[in-house]
Amino acid sequence: MPSERAAEFTINHVQVLDREGNVDEELDPDLSEERLLELYRGMKRARRLDERAIALQRRGESGTIAPALGQEAAQVGSAVALAEDDWMVPSFRENAAYLARGTPPHALLWYAMGMEEGAEIPDGQNDLPPSIAVGSQAIHAAGLGWAQAIKGEEHATIGYFGDGATSEGDVYEGMNCAGVYDAHTVFFCQNNQYAISVPREKQTRAETIAQKAIAAGITGVQVDGNDVLGVHRVVEEALEMARKGEPVLVEAMTYRQSMHTTADDPSVYREREEEEGWEERDPIDRFETYLEGRGILDDETREEIEEAIEEELAEAVERAQEGREEIDPAEMFDHVFSELPPELESQRAAFGGEENGE
């Protein structure tokens, strides 16, 4: 049987800022000092919000939280690369990206507290509300990107999902659709090494997740997801390609330093030694070293930033707590059906302590 090469491909891995805080000058996105401090402030703010949110959940003041500790560079670096008119399709772990796009922190706490107001997007902000359905984001992002192509817009859409989602058919279908219809879409996979408790090596035999783009005929690229400069550069270039009808899959190699959600115990399925190895690659520590080396960040500036974040988040927590006291949880039954089905009517009555109409 004659044999000849049918196709071949390569996947590039990009890193601008190494673990020691040294920058590759050829790849340096050359951002202004103001922009660099914006990235730093965004990562610090997101981490503290996660820590405050976990504390609230542990005190029984909110529902389940999905922290993004360790993934701040991937989210902030990518979200800041978006233009105001671009669209963002988040999953359920994108608090850092939401903050970078302008969502106030008290709204994110409201969402965790079960208040529907927490899913409201501020006027003029082109973001979808959180979606927990794994992999659905790729389809929504492909649809929005296709609409942008049909309308001839010079905008793009980014869709966030995790490494586990890439085992779902929805993600491939979204990428395939985007490739066929020249959708203005960037698929952004945060490869945090675990699909809840399933490690990356047991999710797929593929050497990289980025190469899953090849089957859909679109570009795939891998970036160090704990390198905020690398993520920003790669996503900015991917968005430019997407705006021209060339969809891209970006795989950001990062690590979920904390639990999958506050209902999870990662010590059951991974070793402390592994966690310590990734903590040495912490995205905020790395960026601090870089900023300090350039004379952009010193102790005084860091303290000012941290004090401002603490003050803002204290006010946000207070506002979230006050808002929670004003709601009636039974309202969740009021806005889905014009006429409530009997089983939900029964649940509503039971929820309000009035089971069987008593």
> How far is C-alpha 222 from the geometric centre of its chain's CA atoms?
16
CB contact at 8 A, 29 and 16: yes
Residue 147 is which amino acid?
Answer: A
Active-site amino acid positions: 256, 260, 269
Q: Is 343 in a helix, a strand, or coil?
A: helix
Residue 167's H or E segment, with its range, is: none
- Angstrom distances, CA of residue 219 to CA of 9, 139, 146, 204, 317: 10, 17, 17, 19, 42
What are the DSSP calls for 211-268, one per residue?
Answer: GGGGGGTSEEEEEETT-HHHHHHHHHHHHHHHHTT--EEEEEE----S-SSTT--GGG
Question: Smallest Cα–Cα separation from 92: which of 117, 64, 120?
Answer: 64
CB contact at 8 A, 15 and 223: yes
Tokens representing residue 71 in the block: 């993934």
Phi, psi of 132 (to 5 degrees): -85, -20
